[in-house]
Amino acid sequence: MSEITRRMFLSAGSGIAGAILLAPEVFAASVRPRRPRRPRIYTRSEWDAAPPRRKATVTDHPPDRIVIHHTATANTGDTSLEAAFRLSRAIQRHHMRRNGWDDIGQHFTVSRGGYILEGRNRTLPAIEQGKLAVGAHVAGHNSRALGIETEGTYIDELPTKAQLNALVALVAWLCATYRLDPQKAIIGHRDLNATACPGDRLYGYLGRLREDVARRLGTVRSSAARLAVAEEPQPALVEPGDGEEPAEPEPGLIRPVGRKDRDGRTGDDAPEGPRGRCPAAGDGPERLS
């Protein structure tokens, strides 16, 4: 190598190194996160949803929050697909008949068996367009928040391994599709409304969920974010339907308090459900009607 060529090479190398040292944020920004595939989602037609009273409003913008709920129903040992279908139909009936809403309130339901079911009408087409079908799951924020119901009551225990794996797959796909930062976007219902939802144990697990989603996306996490992770055991990967049978919650948990809701039609007028409980909850475990 000639002296001129060697000097040119060293000079160019120094310039590249200097650019990386002086502008690390530019270098980091050039690393694009992975795009996970859409998980298996059972559509409304597959679980035999009733037609809505009217079509959901679709926003012209994406959501900026993904809100995690629990249904406050029994932690059943029936992890079958048919049980998941029955649950979605029961929640829809409860929302439409008792609450007087136009349709089921949440966008997705994750069953005890790890099955993911579409909820609110127009949810999937809106996501494909980078928009949001306005739901009825969190008071004052429905026009900017996507809601996921996790079947069960998670005050004293965690969801099944299958549920946790399904949550990671679903939320990672949503964050990638909407270009959301999981550390900022993933929150619990209680972060926005006065409620116990999604239960102390599941709420305490959200830090781990954010980390698992970030790992699935291949995004860089700060040391501060890692320190915020809840110290929960890492669930093993299992297939949908391979659930566990934990203890049943005490009867009568998560009872409605206060006045009944008005409707679940549009935007921020769509309420969370009776105050102090999640929108899917009945008068206690397995009391949806």
Vertex 159, ends 175 and 134: CA angle to 5°?
40
The per-residue pLDDT for 273 is: 41
- Cα–Cα dist 9/146, whole Å: 52
- Cα–Cα dist 79/195, whole Å: 27
3 state DSSP class of 203: helix
Contact, 251 vs 72, CB < 8 A?
Answer: no
- The DSSP output letter for 29 is H
Cis ω for the linkage preceding 198 (within 30 of 0): yes
For residue 70, pLDDT beyond 60? yes
**Angle, helices 200-217/161-178, rounded to nearest 10 degrees:** 50
User: Please, which residues bridge with residue 149 across strands?
Assistant: 69, 109
Contact, 112 vs 79, CB < 8 A?
Answer: yes
Q: What is the pLDDT of residues 197-212, one digit of tens each?
A: 999 999 999 999 999 9
Query: What is the mean predicted confidence (pLDDT) over 74-86?
Result: 98
Contact, 203 vs 94, CB < 8 A?
Answer: no
For residue 98, pLDDT beyond 50? yes
Q: What is the pLDDT of residues 237-272, one digit of tens each?
A: 344 443 332 222 222 222 232 223 333 333 333 443
Query: What is the mean predicted confidence (pLDDT) over 27-53?
Result: 82
For residue 225, pLDDT beyond 80? no
The per-residue pLDDT for 254 is: 28
Lowest mean pLDDT among 10-14, 70-74, 82-86, 149-153: 10-14
The per-residue pLDDT for 270 is: 41
Query: What is the mean predicted confidence (pLDDT) over 80-96?
Result: 99
Q: pLDDT band for position 219 (50/70/90)?
A: confident
Q: pLDDT band for position 96 (50/70/90)?
A: very high
9 vs 197, more confident: 197
The average confidence (pLDDT) of the chain is: 77
pTM score, whole prediction: 0.73
The per-residue pLDDT for 288 is: 58
The per-residue pLDDT for 238 is: 40
221 vs 168, more confident: 168
